[in-house]
Structure 1
Amino acid sequence: MLKLTTRRDVDPEGRMPLMEHLRELRNRLVKAILALAAGAVVAWLFFDPIWDFVKEPYTKVPAEHCINRHCDLVVHGPFDGFFIHLKVALMVGAVLSSPVWLYQLWAFVAPGLYRRERRWTYTFMAAAIPLFLVGAGLAYVTMDKGLRLLVGLAPGDTLVLIGIQDYLSYAQAMLLIFGLTFELPLFVVILNLAGVLRFRTLMRTQRFTIFGLFVFAAVATPSADPFTMLALALPTVLLYEVAVLLTYFNDRRRDRRPDPYDGLSDDEASPLELD
């Protein structure tokens, strides 16, 4: 009888020739791209309600700067409508298909990791997506405050005509900056679990880190207004303090365990924990 063998049957350690790695990478990329395309098609079909949600913060700008006190975005060229549909579809499609392409990334990397490293990766993936969504949600809530400040700086007798491409670029920048910044405390915890960062090191540099977070928030936010800066900096500092507290408990737990290398001479073989 013919026996169908999997890669794990061939090599339990997941080792493969270079060409096999390239073929698997190609297959993973094809699956991720197909999932992205399917999500983009769904977003294109439901473009109208999605766009109403995206442009909602702009409708809250000061009405005295709008035509007939009604704020609308402006299309500058004949191709802007198509490219806006495409941008929004790809952006929403990437979110909808994120479970698929994240799984493909994990399935490609996981065979080369040890069991403990896989556990860290599970923790990272389980926390990364909620943190990014919380940051993006906070950016969406605070977008109208930055727009009010920027548009309010225009002279009172002028009309502000914002192009649809410019507004979408502003919205994308806000969502990405907030979402990615909220991932910083997670990297701190992961580096501590890997033994790269210790609680003592974090405490010595805590003041400089907090100051750096405020400077980064002031520079990175597109609107550069105090409200948006504080909306990014204060939650990030809070999440960073939670991450430092977690490193404290992890270092205490690690220090209570006996050191397997204690008492070994330089010429004596040390125990290896490959699991």
Structure 2
Amino acid sequence: MKLFSNKRNVDGAEMSFIEHLEALRGHLFKSAVAVAIGAIIVAIYSDFIFRHILMGPAHADFFTYNFLCKASQRLGLGSKLCLAGSTVKFQSNTVSGQFGVYFNVILLGGFILAFPYVFWQFWLFFRPALTPKELKSTRGVIFWVSSLFFLGVLFGYFVIAPYTISFFSKFKLDDTIENLWTINSYFGTVVPIILGAGLAFQLPLVLYFLAKAGVVSSAFLKRSRKYAIVIMLVISGIITPPDMLSQIVCCIPLIILYEVGVLLTKKVERQEARQEVAEWS
């Protein structure tokens, strides 16, 4: 793939570097407009989004807490899987604290809503540089990238965020110390977890394209499996509370995604083997 050599202007001539920058600016502008529209939608429903969605993991009746308690009882484990909702009082200790959080959240919400379109715009910019063979192998990439991103966002919101909030709300160095969180600290913790999970779920596609580029192979991924699991455990330990159950719950999907990536790598190798046989024949 050559990034700038295959794109052509309306006259069919090869585009210059400045023309590429102009084309990129057009895609960035359209992406910004899409994010702005998404932010407006988030702003319209901001009361519901802030109270019931973003503050959800801080409420004792949050879906995850109720689900885990019911599952624990049905499995005969009593209350071992139950998580307590946050008992922390929230505060804003700066003049523009709440407005700053509001503005940042609606922008991030607009980006999440517009993510498929934003990715599509970047794909339109890079697509002319791909060969027909590369285009064929990337069919459906927008759907899969968007689906994995939203799946990761849901996992971060319903699984990682509740574990994190529950753990830190109960953690105390001494009973005389009261947890008083600022809203900036709360959203600064929850939002990166949610977005980070959305990006982490791109692992199978990353491995797939690395395999297409000849950087990794299924044999290499199998040999590196134990090291990859250690790395995923470390990552899980960073983005979750320091307890074993939270790390395992976070790590299991990453391991599954890694194995999916191994299967996709094998598929790439089979396709390339068939193409070599066809070329020789």
Equivalent residue in structure 2 for 1:147, among 135, 141, 165: 165
Deviations 1:202-249 (A, max 9, x none): 22222222222212222x315333233222211110121122123224
Cα deviation, 1:86-144, whole Å, max 9, x if unaligned, reads 01110111112223322221221111211222234444322122112112211111222
Distance 2:22 2:9 in 1: 16
Structure 2 stretches of 5 or more lacking a match? 1-7, 61-82
1:240 pairs with 2:272:
no
Corresponding letter in the other structure for 1:109: F
Count of aligned positions: 248
Tell me which amino acid in the other structure corresponds to 1:177: G
By how many angstroms is 1:260 displaced? 8.2
Secondary structure of 2:59's counterpart equals helix
Q: Does 1:189 align with 2:208?
A: yes
Question: Which residue type is aligned with residue 251 of structure 1?
Answer: E
Structure-2 residue corresponding to 1:59: 59
Output the amino acid matched with 1:42: I
Distance 1:99 1:177, change over 3 A: closer
Q: Please report the RMSD computed on the Cα atoms of aligned residues, expressed in angstroms.
A: 2.5
TM-score (norm 1): 0.80
Q: How does 1:29-44 map to 2 (within 5 A)?
A: 29-44=28-43
- Could you tell me which of 114, 135, 144 is aligned with 1:97? 114
Tell me if structure 2 keeps the 8 A contact 1:40–1:89. Answer: yes
Equivalent residue number for residue 212 of structure 1: 231
Report the 3-state secondary structure (helix = DSSP H, G, I; strand = E; otherwise coil) of the residue aligned with 1:162.
strand
C-alpha change, 1:225 and 1:125, in structure 2 (3 Å) is farther
Cα 1:182–1:137 change in 2 (3 A) is: same
SS state at 2:242 partner: coil
After superposition, residues 78-89 of structure 1 pair within 5 angstroms as: 78-89=95-106
Amino acid at match of 2:25: R
Higher radius of gyration, 1 or 2:
1
Shift in Å at residue 172 of structure 1? 1.2
Q: Where does structure 1 lack aligned partners over 5 or more consecutive residues?
A: 1-6, 263-275
Q: TM-score, normalised by structure 2?
A: 0.78
